[in-house]
Amino acid sequence: MHSKKESILKRWHSFRISPKACAKKWGHQYWQEKDGLKSVSCKNCPSFNLGKNQCAIGFGTPTRKCVISSIEAHFYDCKDESILEIGYGRFKLAKNLIQRSGGTWTGIEPKQSETNKVEIGKGGYGLATDIRFPDDTFDRVFGVQSIEHWGQKAGNPREPSSYQDCISEIGRVLKPGGIFYQDTAAHYHGNEIFIMADLKKIRELFPEDQWQNVQIEQWRKDYQPLERLEPQPRMVEDWPIEITSYPQEDVDEIIANRVVWMMVITAEKI
């Protein structure tokens, strides 16, 4: 549960966000290449305040600070782009950056009434498996902390979705050359491939004849000198429901290590 102060700080950050300031902060290589992945360590992240030895994002959980940083890095230049957000909720940082940098934001949200029909430039009802737009509509399709829930079993009010169906539907509405973006916590909750951080299976969600330049960024996996983040016990309680395809010794190893980090997945439609 967010405190009132944190909620105010989050809204203020979204309200005052500037594409120009984000371009200055993120318009250079902020990651390190490692084992075919992009690694964003805390100590080398542009959001790290070296003088105070802490993250400069002054609100949110450690992974939420990474989410905010990643959104700043990926969405400060959206000029003339039509961009769809899946599961937009009340978090407006990405929406504000898109619109202020010259793009058009549209959103779909499963918690909206089905009578709230979506149209370009507005939010309305929709699912990752049911995007009510024509083929080749969007330059980008993205979501913030939503992909892990599409195929989630525990506490899901609807039947878990097929990732193959979700990725196919997103690919349908993306223009050729369009970009897919999702961020999610690793070793935390949701579908088992994200709890296990199974990068091989995550890459396999994107068929090679339909997608290219599949990239995975690891934010905060190298968390020093900041605090270690562990999964909350209530999240781990759901793991036996979610994790059914992996040996118990692999699960035990993750439980023993207990390090949560943030994953960003991007891919380009062919």
- Would you say 45 and 91 are in contact if contact means Cβ atoms under 8 Å apart? no
Q: What is the pLDDT of residue 164?
A: 97
Residues 6 or more apart whose CB falls under 8 angstroms from that of 250 comprise: 196
Length of the chain: 270
| Burial 130-161, CB ≥16 within 10 A → b, else e | ebebeeebbbbbbbbbbbbbbbbeeeeeeeeb
Low-confidence ranges of the chain (pLDDT < 50): none
> Where do the H-state alpha helices sit in 17-162?
19-26, 62-74, 93-100, 147-150
User: How is the chain split into domains, by residue range?
Assistant: 59-269
Q: Are 41 and 32 in contact (CB under 8 A)?
A: yes
Q: What is the DSSP letter of 5?
A: H
Helical segments of 136-247, H only: 147-150, 163-173, 192-195, 199-203, 233-236, 239-242
- Beta-strand pair 261-269/37-40: unpaired
Which ranges in the chain belong to alpha helices (H)? 4-16, 19-26, 62-74, 93-100, 147-150, 163-173, 192-195, 199-203, 233-236, 239-242, 248-257
Radius of gyration of the chain (CA): 18
Domain 59-269 has CATH 3.40.630.30: no
Residue pair 33/87 in contact by the 8 Å Cβ criterion: no
Question: Residue 113: CB partners within 8 Å, gap ≥ 6?
Answer: 125
pLDDT at 90: 85
- Tell me what pLDDT residue 2 has: 61
For residue 233, whether the previous peptide bond is cis, meaning omega lies within 30 degrees of 0, is no
Helix or strand (DSSP H, E) at 115: none
